[in-house]
Structure 1
């Protein structure tokens, strides 16, 4: 049986899925047609129900709960892994002052409407309404070219913005941790509910095995990771993996599910996402 699978070319995803798609583990009769896209493109594909299995932002997941169920394996949650709000160094004081105004007219570049980063921004700074959607890798340059006043950065840009003379305004991950005492849920792997339950459970089992294999053989995926990492320095690649792939990626467990449930409760309360009735997770 062949299933469509979407994930990003970022090192954390290629690290997780290498063993699965290259049959380094027993895939129990399943094959995968892989689509590489940035997270917001994956979010949009999920909205249209285009893929059998896909990585998406937890914010986007709220809009597709009827179509997809969340795997216990493959998610990106953690402490110290949240999106950063950045600006030009020379504009820091002026922007700090403007952020306090109720009618704030600062323009901010975001990596997608349905990213968890944008959700957190809406909780922390509801007054920031002038948003420009950009591919995450374009946000730093947009700041440097004065196309935006603030940038909301994710992924490897967390490690590179300072080299470009940009300055951290706020760590939204730290904001979330202080607010909830939970890990921050960034993205998860979901499976289409139309698939038979036994296939959903098999996919969950295989993704867990793929993550476990990656941890046991951390250099096995190096060529695959490098191929899709956009000329990223190897040290940065592995820093990226260490940040986003952890025990929650093997299994959400009680604490991981608590973090996700808290995210959805706050988002629903603040009317950032619609109400829903479906259980979030693949049935055991």
Structure 2
């Protein structure tokens, strides 16, 4: 069975047991490590692996070929995307300064970008300028060097942006939580509709539980794929993004997904889906 997820610590931590043959009854998984922009594209084309980690924002395009699994993903509180500014904007925190500016984003179908568009519609008069898609690890250097006016960042950037001399303009997660009272739906796990959804969910949930029960076993694997991240940052990353929602989406997690896709559809940002059937 083929699976694709990012090399980020939360994903490698969650799937370590599954891809290393430590879950009884699970088949052998062939792994592709890919940036979220790639997996979002694969799932929309229907040509991706059997199981993928994608953005919740890409889910409307995935549902023809894939279905949402209730575990393995990334939702939470205090873990949302950030908008960062640098020298090009004088390190400002004023949202209006983004009007007409070039902003780097990690994927056009990322949850981060969808949240940004919902936020910008209310806070940036006249709208932003050009949107430039970049791998997320290239965004902060581009903002620091002035080739991009501002950047939308995810993952461990929450812990490292100050080292690039950047300023946080807005925490989109905090904005979403204040506005809705719901957790932030970031990354989803989907599986092909032709497969045994229940079995795959059981294997993934078992992998999450194994990771929590044996937290040191995955350390070497996590750091191998962590793109020069320090062990301390990797640990903080895991603690932030791997939580109760990873084991079970639950009612509040599902409500968060329904709210995100419902709002986005009303704004014409994503195709409308029957969110009550997710």
Please point out which of 105, 113, 119 is paired with 2:108. Answer: 113
| Equivalent of 1:41 in 38, 42, 59 | 38
Map 1:136-155 onto structure 2 (within 5 A). 136-155=136-155
| Structure 2 CA distance for partners of 1:236 and 1:94, relative to 1, 3 Å | closer
CA gap of 1:94–1:59, structure 2 versus 1, over 3 A, is: closer
SS in 2 for 1:215: helix
The 3-state SS of whatever aligns with 1:169 is strand
Match of 2:238 among 237, 241, 256: 241
Aligned pair in 2 of structure 1 residues 70, 110: CA closer, same or farther (>3 Å)?
same
Deviations 1:128-173 (A, max 9, x none): 2420110100001111221111100101112111011100000000
Contact kept in structure 1, 2:262 and 2:272, CA below 8 Å = no
Equivalent pair of 2:93/2:168 in contact (CA under 8 Å): no
Q: CA deviation at 1:63?
A: 1.2
Task: Within 5 Å, give how 1:160-239 maps onto structure 2.
Answer: 160-195=160-195, 199-239=196-236
- Partner deviation per Cα, 1:172-231 (whole Å, 9 max, x = no partner): 000100111000000011001122xxx211000100000011011111111110110112
SS, match of residue 58 in structure 2: helix
Aligned-partner SS, 1:276: coil
- TM-score normalised by the chain length of structure 2: 0.93
Distance between the aligned counterparts of 2:178 and 2:276, measured in 1? 27
Shift of 1:86: 0.5
Separation of aligned partners in 2, 1:84 and 1:93: 14
Runs of 5+ unmatched residues, structure 1 = none
Inter-partner Cα distance in structure 2 for 1:221 and 1:52 = 23
Structure 2 alignment gaps of length 5 or more: 122-126
For residues 208 and 93 of structure 2, what CA distance do their matches in structure 1 show?
45
How far 1:269 sits from its partner (Å)?
1.0
For residue 92 of structure 1, report the CA deviation from its aligned partner: 3.0
Equivalent position of 1:63 in the other structure? 61
Aligned length: 271
CA RMSD in angstroms comes to 1.6
- How do 1:26-105 residues align onto structure 2 when only pairs under 5 Å count? 26=24, 28-49=25-46, 50-88=48-86, 91-93=90-92, 96-99=95-98, 104-105=99-100
Distance 1:148 1:5 in 2: 33
Distance in 2 between residues matched to 1:70 and 1:253, nearest whole Å: 13
**Is 2:223–2:229's contact at 8 Å kept on the other side of the alignment?**
yes
